[in-house]
């Protein structure tokens, strides 16, 4: 088996021209990377791939007996395919010349992973858990040839493996995680003069005999631990990600084919109404996803999107957050579901009690409906009453869904016990409660969704509920761990009797919580709320990792910042295209809802259909809100706003053409039901 390493190199860096030939401890940076590559176990030959006109690199390679293959400056992918062909390679390892402290043993592990797992592609960057500067990618010859036949966009020609990273449904991909934990915040690569100074200082702290041979990442970590000041310089943030290509959209052939197959076995073709074909124009939506990384998600056709749905809000840190994933992996090694309780139940409950004002005690469920239904049962048990007042969305169980238009299968007697009331209208709530005096067990509400509460409103709801002998329940399934770590009750300084949490509390793992003071929660020793998977440990480990990350880093601040930038930018674009009377953004920055009205030449549903269709075509996954994650970068936001600009132009054209409802015909999106 012929296994080669190809080192991608150039002197034409815009930020630091000539960096790969700058001296590091007296030797050019390119020497360090080629020397490390030669020590990778299993490699037969090391070749440098540079642009044809890069005479400095070509001359250095000739002088130092390093094979060099000059090629197209902009089509980097063609350099790799040409080398693979010339060398008759079976496996190709891709390295870049700005990683002088590359660890040969780490690269060897990536190579071994590809071979042992019979993968098409293996790396240590998807998702990232290693320091930036230890990057290694390995692929088979067949994979490289397939990339060459697929690549059209300049992004894919320049970044070589971006198509693999988008097409998880096509390529068998294996990733090597860092065994000592998440080191993704470390930066050991060379991109600026400051980077070079850092690398020099780091190298100088190594023993003399270690300064002339490939270095283990563990040796570098040891040096950094002994030098807090240098370690702080190393922690310079995660590296940038590959952008979504400008002509990324390739249609939905695989999605539609999978739907035809899945719908024969699964009603609706999926498990969730809001993740089904009903969310997109017929035949024009990504019905099946492949994978996600950070703020991006990828469908089975290879389309890439900035994700503004984020699994209907659970993904608050970004897809495959390395800290959360590492916590899950550690717990996976210890076990998932046990025959008795696990200490993680107590540890997460302690965290909730620390941050959530009403959380004296906690019980766990798997979804929001579990938690809201538990709260209702507690309220009914405590008060001995049956009626429930609701405001907002509270899940699929009979007691709530019977009050909506999706009430098929709910007994009439159950429907009659649930009453909806309008938000920000205290007299309406009081009138409703007084219409059935002494019969309401609870007022359950989303403390905020579309509208901000008027001054004194939430406290007023609590007072009215208490005067009528009812409990106040805040449904914080969405607002918790998003508006604030302690939820909306912390943000608005109003403490309910009970509260429910879910979605963002475990970055996508299935968990929910019902919280309240001990005197109320002790009702749960009498009522029946029990499930086999309530104490499942992977979700608890994930939740603990999320809370600890929110304690230690400004996750919530980031949600407010990116949500505000995105909302204001989109609003300005739509207003500039005279669409401000049709589109408006409601709610707070971490969860902005998109309100779409009608126009004289089109109804709201038709305009919403065009909006979603065009945003998808331009690489943004969005439905009725901006469900932002902390993984969003400035580059991601720029991409979304560019998509808004293109979409706004199309909407104006469609409205000017008239008869949009008729032209869309049966492709128009219809809402499942409306509660906000």
Rounded Cα distance, 310 and 277, in Å: 17
Residue 14 pLDDT: 81
Does residue 239 carry a pLDDT above 60? no
Reported as a single tens digit per residue, the pLDDT across 352-406 is 999 999 999 999 999 999 999 999 999 999 999 999 999 999 999 999 999 999 9
The pTM for the full model equals: 0.90
Does residue 674 carry a pLDDT above 80? no
Does residue 295 carry a pLDDT above 80? yes
**Model confidence band, residue 337 (pLDDT cutoffs 50, 70, 90):** very high
Residue 286 pLDDT: 95
Reported as a single tens digit per residue, the pLDDT across 41-58 is 999 999 999 999 999 999
Question: What pairs with residue 305 in β-bridges?
Answer: 297
Q: What are phi and psi for residue 480, nearest 5 degrees?
A: -70, 140
Q: Work out the average pLDDT over 404-423.
A: 96
Reported as a single tens digit per residue, the pLDDT across 269-285 is 999 989 999 899 888 99
Give percent of the chain with pLDDT exceeding 70: 98
| Secondary structure E strands in 43-158 | 45-51, 68-71, 91-96, 121-123, 137-140
Does residue 240 carry a pLDDT above 80? no
Contacts with 244 (C-beta within 8 Å, 6 or more apart), sequence order: 155, 296, 304, 305, 306, 619, 639
Rounded Cα distance, 43 and 439, in Å: 77
Does residue 529 carry a pLDDT above 70? yes
Reported as a single tens digit per residue, the pLDDT across 537-561 is 999 999 999 999 999 999 999 999 9
Q: What are phi and psi for residue 667, nearest 5 degrees?
A: -90, 0
Residue 213 pLDDT: 74
**Model confidence band, residue 248 (pLDDT cutoffs 50, 70, 90):** low
DSSP string, 217-252: HHHHHHHHHH-HHHHHHHB--PPP-PPPPTT----S
- DSSP run (H or E) holding 498: strand 498-501
**Model confidence band, residue 242 (pLDDT cutoffs 50, 70, 90):** low
Residue 209 pLDDT: 76
Rounded Cα distance, 201 and 206, in Å: 9
**Model confidence band, residue 325 (pLDDT cutoffs 50, 70, 90):** very high
Reported as a single tens digit per residue, the pLDDT across 180-216 is 988 988 999 999 999 999 999 999 998 887 777 789 9
**First vs last C-alpha separation in the chain:** 61
Does residue 238 carry a pLDDT above 60? no
Structural domains of the chain, with CATH: 3-234 (3.90.550.10), 262-319+556-667 (3.90.1150.10), 335-552 (3.40.640.10)
Q: Rounded mean pLDDT of the chain? A: 94
Q: Work out the average pLDDT over 497-520.
A: 98
Does residue 653 carry a pLDDT above 80? yes
């Amino acid at each position: 088996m012929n296994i080669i390493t190809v080192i991608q190199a150039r002197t034409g860096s815009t930020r630091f021209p000539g960096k790969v030939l700058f001296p590091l401890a007296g030797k050019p940076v390119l020497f360090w990377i080629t020397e490390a590559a030669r020590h990778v176990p299993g490699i037969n030959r090391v070749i440098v791939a540079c642009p044809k006109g890069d005479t400095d690199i070509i001359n250095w390679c000739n002088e130092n007996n390093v094979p060099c293959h000059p090629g197209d400056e902009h089509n980097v992918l063609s350099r790799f395919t040409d080398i693979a062909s010339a060398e008759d390679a079976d496996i190709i390892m891709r390295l870049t010349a700005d990683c002088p402290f590359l660890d040969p043993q780490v690269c060897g592990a990536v190579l071994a992973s590809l071979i042992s797992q019979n993968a098409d592609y293996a790396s240590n960057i998807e998702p990232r858990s290693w320091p930036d500067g230890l990057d290694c990618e390995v692929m088979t010859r067949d994979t490289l040839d397939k990339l060459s036949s697929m690549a059209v966009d300049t992004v894919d020609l320049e970044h070589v493996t971006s198509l693999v990273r988008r097409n998880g449904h096509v390529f068998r991909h294996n990733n090597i995680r860092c065994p000592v934990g998440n080191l993704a915040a470390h930066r050991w690569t060379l991109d600026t003069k400051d980077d070079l100074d850092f690398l020099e200082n780091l190298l100088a702290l190594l023993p003399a005999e270690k300064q002339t041979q490939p270095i283990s990442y563990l040796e570098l970590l040891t040096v950094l631990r002994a030098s807090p000041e240098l370690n702080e310089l190393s922690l310079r943030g995660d590296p940038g990600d590959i952008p979504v290509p400008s002509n990324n959209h390739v249609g939905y052939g695989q999605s539609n084919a999978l739907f035809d197959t899945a719908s024969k076995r699964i009603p609706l073709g999926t498990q969730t109404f809001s993740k089904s074909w009903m969310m997109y124009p017929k035949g024009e939506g990504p019905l099946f996803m492949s994978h996600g990384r950070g703020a991006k998600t990828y469908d089975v056709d290879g389309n890439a999107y900035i994700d503004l749905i984020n699994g209907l809000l659970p993904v608050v840190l970004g897809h495959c957050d390395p800290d959360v994933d590492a916590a899950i992996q550690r717990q996976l090694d210890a076990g998932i579901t046990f025959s008795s309780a696990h200490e993680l139940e107590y540890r997460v409950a302690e965290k909730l009690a620390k941050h959530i004002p009403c959380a004296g005690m906690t019980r766990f469920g798997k979804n929001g409906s579990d938690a809201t239904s538990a709260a209702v049962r507690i309220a009914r048990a405590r008060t001995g009453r049956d009626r429930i007042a609701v405001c907002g969305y509270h899940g699929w169980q009979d007691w709530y869904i019977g009050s909506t238009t999706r009430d098929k299968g709910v007994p009439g007697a159950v429907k009659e016990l649930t009453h909806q009331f309008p938000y920000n209208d205290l007299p309406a709530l009081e009138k409703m409660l007084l219409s059935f005096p002494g019969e309401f067990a609870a007022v359950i509400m989303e403390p905020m969704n579309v509208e901000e509460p008027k001054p004194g409103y939430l406290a007023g709801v609590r007072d009215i509920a208490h005067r009528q002998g009812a409990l106040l329940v805040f449904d914080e399934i969405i607002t918790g761990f998003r508006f604030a770590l302690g939820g909306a009750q912390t943000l608005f300084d109003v403490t309910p009797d009970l509260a429910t949490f879910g979605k963002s509390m475990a970055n996508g793992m299935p968990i929910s919580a019902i919280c309240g003071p001990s005197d109320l929660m002790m009702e749960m020793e009498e009522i029946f709320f029990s499930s086999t998977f309530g104490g499942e440990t992977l979700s608890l480990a994930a939740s603990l990792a999320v809370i600890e990350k929110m304690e230690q880093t400004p996750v919530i601040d980031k949600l407010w910042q990116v949500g505000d930038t995105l909302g204001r930018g989109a609003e300005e674009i739509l207003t500039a295209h005279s669409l401000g009377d049709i589109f408006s953004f409601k709610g707070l920055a971490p969860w902005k809802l998109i309100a779409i009205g009608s126009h004289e030449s089109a109804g709201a549903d038709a305009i919403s259909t065009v909006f979603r269709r065009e945003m998808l075509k331009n690489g943004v996954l969005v439905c009725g809100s901006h469900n932002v994650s902390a993984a969003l970068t400035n580059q991601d936001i720029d991409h979304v706003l560019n998509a808004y600009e293109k979409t706004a132009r199309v909407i104006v054209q469609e409205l000017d053409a008239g008869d949009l409802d008729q032209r869309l015909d049966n492709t128009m999106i219809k809402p499942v039901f409306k509660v906000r």
